[in-house]
Amino acid sequence: MQVQSMHFKQTASGKLNDAVLQGAMKKAKGKFVDGRALGVAEVDNWEDIRTYAAELRNRVIDNLDAYLLEFERNAIRRGAKVHWAETAEEANAIVLGIAQQNGVKTVTKSKSMVTEEIALNDVLIAAGIHVMETDLGEYILQLAHEPPSHIVAPAMHKSKEQVAELFAAAHHKPLLTDIGELTREAREQLRSHFLAADMGISGANFIVAETGTTLTVTNEGNADLVTTVPRIHCVVTGIEKVIPTLEDFATLIRLLPRSAIGQSIVNYLTLTTGVKSPDETDGPEQMHVVLVDAGRTKLVGSDMKDMLRCIRCGACMNHCPVYQNVGGHAYGWVYPGPMGSVLTPTYVGIENAGDLPNAATFCGECQVVCPVKIPLPDLMRKWRERQFDQRLRPFGERFVMSVWAFFIQRPRLYAFASRIGVRVAVWMGGKDKLIHSLPGIDGWTDGRDMPAPQGRTFRELYAARKGGQ
Amino acid sequence: MSARENILARIREKSGRNGVTSAPELAAVRAHIAEHACGPLPSISRHDPVTHFIAECARLKSTTAELDDIAALPAEVARYIAANALRMRCVGWHEFAALNWQSAGIQFDDRPANGDDLIGLTGSFCGIGETGTLLLLGAPATPKATALLPETHICVVKKSRILATMEDSFALMRNEIGEPPRATFFVSGPSRTADIEQTLVIGAHGPYRVHVILIP
Whether residue B181 lies within 8 A of chain A, CB to CB, comes out as: yes
ipTM of the shown complex: 0.97
CA distance A220 to chain B (A): 5
Angle at A433 between CA A430 and CA A434, to 5 degrees: 100
Write b or e for each residue in B157-171: b if 16 or more Cβ atoms lie within 10 A of its Cβ, otherwise e: beeebbbbbbbbbbb
* Residues of chain B with C-beta less than 8 angstroms from the C-beta of A222: 204-206
Report yes or no: B116 at the A interface, CB cutoff 8 Å: no
Determine, for residues A245 and B36 on separate chains, whether the beta-carbon distance falls below 8 Å.
yes
CA gap A335, A136 in Å, rounded: 19
Residue type, A289: V
Greatest distance between any 2 Cα atoms in chain A: 89
Which chain B residue shows the shortest CA-CA distance from A134?
A: B205
Q: Do B15 and A301 touch (CB under 8 A)?
A: yes
* Contact call for A219 and B191, based on CB within 8 A: yes
Cα A236 versus chain centre, distance: 17
Rounded CA-CA distance A421/A424 in Å is 5
Q: Is B63 on the interface with A (CB under 8 A)?
A: no
Bridge pairing between strands A213-218 and A206-208: antiparallel
Chain A residues touching residue B26 (CB < 8 angstroms) = 66, 69-70
Q: What is the pLDDT of residue A319?
A: 97
- How close, in Å, is residue A326 to chain B by CA atoms? 17
Question: Do the beta carbons of residue A166 and residue A140 sit within 8 Å?
Answer: yes
d(CA A308, CA A56): 12
Q: What is the pLDDT of residue A393?
A: 82
Residue A70 and residue B187: Cβ atoms within 8 Å?
no
The alpha carbon of residue B213 is apart from the nearest alpha carbon of chain A, in Å, by 18
Chain A residues with beta carbon closer than 8 angstroms to that of B152: none
Three-state DSSP state, A142: helix
Instruction: Tell if the CB–CB gap between A251 and B203 is shorter than 8 Å.
Output: no
Q: Is the CB of A267 less than 8 angstroms away from the CB of B187?
A: yes
Q: Residues of A with CB below 8 A from B195's CB?
A: 135-137, 140, 153-156
Selecting from B12, B28, B196 the residue whose C-beta is nearest the C-beta of A160 gives B196
pLDDT computed for residue A353 by the predictor: 92
Q: Which residues in chain A touch residue B132, judged by CB atoms under 8 angstroms apart?
A: 265
Give the gap in angstroms from C-alpha B24 to the nearest C-alpha of chain A: 10
Chain A residue closest in CA terms to B6? A86
Return the closest-CA partner of residue B134 out of B186, B212, B57, B92: B186
- Residues of B whose CB is below 8 A from A224: 144, 148, 185, 206
Query: At B33, which amino acid appears?
Result: I
pLDDT at A437: 84
Q: What is the pLDDT of residues A265-324, one digit of tens each?
A: 999 999 999 999 999 999 999 999 999 999 999 999 999 999 999 999 999 999 999 999
**Contact residues on chain A for B212, CB-CB shorter than 8 A:** none
- Give the nearest partner residue to B193 out of A183, A246, A250, using CB atoms: A183
**B196/A277 Cβ within 8 A:** no
Asked if B143's CB is within 8 angstroms of A271's CB, the reply is no
Which residues of A fall within a CB distance of 8 Å from B41?
45
Residues of B in contact with A194 (CB under 8 A): 115, 205
The dihedrals phi and psi of A54, each to the nearest 5 degrees, come to -65, -40
pLDDT-flagged residues of chain B (< 50): none
Per-residue pLDDT at A469: 60
Question: Within an 8 Å CB–CB cutoff, is residue B43 touching chain A?
Answer: yes
Q: Could you say which residues of chain A have pLDDT below 70?
A: 468-469
Contact yes or no for B206 and A49 at CB 8 A: no
Closest Cα of chain A to B119: distance in Å? 16
Q: Where are the alpha helices (DSSP H) in A172-272?
A: 179-196, 222-228, 246-261
A394 to A166, A390, A401, B43: CA distances (angstroms): 41, 11, 11, 53
> Which pLDDT belongs to residue A440?
73
**For position A390, what pLDDT does the model report?**
86
Minimum CA–CA partner of A153 in chain B: B195
Q: Identify which of B16, B133, B195 has the shortest CB distance to residue A155.
A: B195
Count CB neighbours of B37 within 10 A: 15
Cross-chain Cβ contact B179/A273 below 8 Å = yes
Pick among A42, A55, A65 to test the B interface (most B CBs inside 10 A): A65
B7 touches chain A (CB under 8 A): yes
Distance from CA of A232 to the nearest CA of B (A): 14
B183-187 and A268-272 strand pairing: antiparallel
Q: Identify the pLDDT of residue A158.
A: 95
The percentage of residues in chain A with a pLDDT greater than 70, rounded to a whole number, is: 100
- Residue-level pLDDT at A446: 80
Per-residue model confidence as pLDDT tens digits over A331-359: 999 999 999 999 999 999 999 998 999 99
Strand, helix or coil for residue B138: coil
Q: How far apart are CA A146 and CA A390, in angstroms?
A: 33
In terms of Cβ atoms closer than 10 Å to its own Cβ (0-12, 13-18, 19+), residue B181 is buried
* pLDDT for residue B13: 97
Is A254 in Cβ contact with B182 (below 8 Å)? no
| Alpha carbons A386 and A400: distance in angstroms, whole number | 17
Residue A392 has a pLDDT of 83
The beta-carbon neighbor of B11 closest among A160, A222, A297 is A297
Q: Could you tell me which of A58, A110, A47 has the C-alpha nearest to residue A266?
A: A110
